[in-house]
């Protein structure tokens, strides 16, 4: 067997269908590109159409299979409609990546019910509802991969973690609950845990070069994260070679969490 076909046996996503929420920006966009280039047909779900179109156009220009659905995942109805439209593009997904997320950072004293509710809706309830919609079908078919993007803030407080950290802590618990439910049927469920990644999500924090340098110094690798750092880990967790890895949180953070 050639090296190429061995690697492909381990990691190819040829013939798989993936849905990536938040796949039009930052970490989600890098994961979308990785899954599509590894052979999957990928449906990207987010709100803004220009970014969605640009993401899909870039991939179809490379002969990858990709489609987009504009949906607001902050409401149950938005999730429901978005999920149906996503499944209509290439069929029921084998891979679900929950990457859409928001980080609103009011100080705890000023954290109101509105920010709490919106944060929980996008970061935690949408992944739950999408799991309910797609998980049982994956289990019935005997193959599925669910990947949640959580945060180091599931594990520690960091720059007004507020509702955000709570939502990500819940998402890691959801990872274990879904893994318990569906792993016996070939559906693994894992979390990727970023540290500080240079994306539009934390543009405000990035405008302070001293803070950015201090955060880089807290890693072991000596730099902050880039969206592309998630490509390989996502392909691994989406593919057949991760069949015995489930309920886990994989830190892709340059050693930030253990330094």
Ligand X SMILES: NC(=O)c1ccc[n+]([C@@H]2O[C@H](COP(=O)([O-])OP(=O)(O)OC[C@H]3O[C@@H](n4cnc5c(N)ncnc54)[C@H](OP(=O)(O)O)[C@@H]3O)[C@@H](O)[C@H]2O)c1
Identity of the residue, 32 or 188, whose beta carbon is nearer to ligand X in the bound complex = 32
Q: Furthest-apart CA pair in the chain: how many Å?
A: 62
For the chain, helix (H) and strand (E) counts, in that order, are: 10, 7
One residue of 199, 219, 242, 246 binding ligand X per CB under 6 A? 199
Map residues 36-55 to x or -, x wherever contact with ligand X holds by CB under 6 A: ----------xxx--x----
By CB under 6 A, is residue 77 in contact with ligand X? no
Please count the other Cβ atoms lying within 10 Å of the Cβ belonging to residue 26: 22
Q: How far is the CB of 10 from ligand X (least distance, A)?
A: 26
Rounded to whole angstroms, the Cα distance separating 240 from 156 reads 32
Q: Which is nearer to ligand X, 123 or 244 (CB)?
A: 123
219 binds ligand X (CB under 6 A): no
* DSSP SS3 for 236: helix
For position 103 contacting ligand X by CB under 6 A, the verdict is yes
164 is catalytic: yes
Q: Which helix (H) or strand (E) holds 133?
A: helix 126-141
Both structure tokens of 197: 């990644």
How many angstroms separate the CA atoms of 221 and 163, rounded? 29
Residue 201 binding ligand X, by CB under 6 A: yes
- Interface residue list for ligand X (CB under 6 A): 21-22, 24-28, 46-48, 51, 72-74, 99-103, 122, 149, 151, 194, 196-197, 199-202
- Catalytically annotated residues: 164
């Amino acid at each position: 067997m050639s090296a190429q076909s061995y690697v492909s046996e381990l990691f190819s996503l040829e013939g798989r269908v993936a849905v990536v929420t938040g796949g039009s920006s930052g970490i989600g966009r890098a994961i979308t590109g990785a899954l599509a280039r590894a052979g999957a047909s990928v449906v990207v779900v987010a709100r803004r159409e220009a970014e969605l179109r640009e993401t899909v156009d870039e991939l179809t220009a490379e002969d990858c299979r990709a489609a987009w659905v504009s949906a607001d995942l902050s409401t149950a109805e938005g999730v429901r409609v978005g999920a149906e439209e996503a499944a209509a593009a290439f069929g029921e997904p084998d891979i679900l990546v929950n990457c859409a997320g928001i980080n609103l950072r009011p100080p705890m004293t000023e954290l109101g019910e509105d920010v709490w509710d919106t944060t929980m809706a996008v970061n935690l309830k949408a992944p739950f509802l999408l799991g309910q919609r797609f998980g049982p079908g994956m289990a019935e078919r005997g193959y599925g991969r669910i990947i949640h993007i959580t945060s180091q803030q599931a594990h520690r407080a960091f720059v007004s973690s507020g509702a955000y950290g709570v939502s990500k802590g819940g998402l890691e618990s959801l990872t274990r609950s879904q893994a318990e439910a569906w792993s016996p049927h070939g559906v693994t469920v894992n979390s990727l845990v970023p540290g500080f990644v240079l994306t539009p999500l934390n543009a405000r924090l990035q405008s302070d070069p001293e803070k950015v340098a201090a955060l880089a110094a807290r890693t072991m690798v000596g730099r902050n994260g880039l969206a592309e750092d998630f490509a390989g880990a996502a392909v691994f967790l989406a593919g057949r070679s991760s069949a015995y890895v489930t309920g886990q949180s994989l830190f892709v953070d340059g050693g930030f969490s253990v330094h």
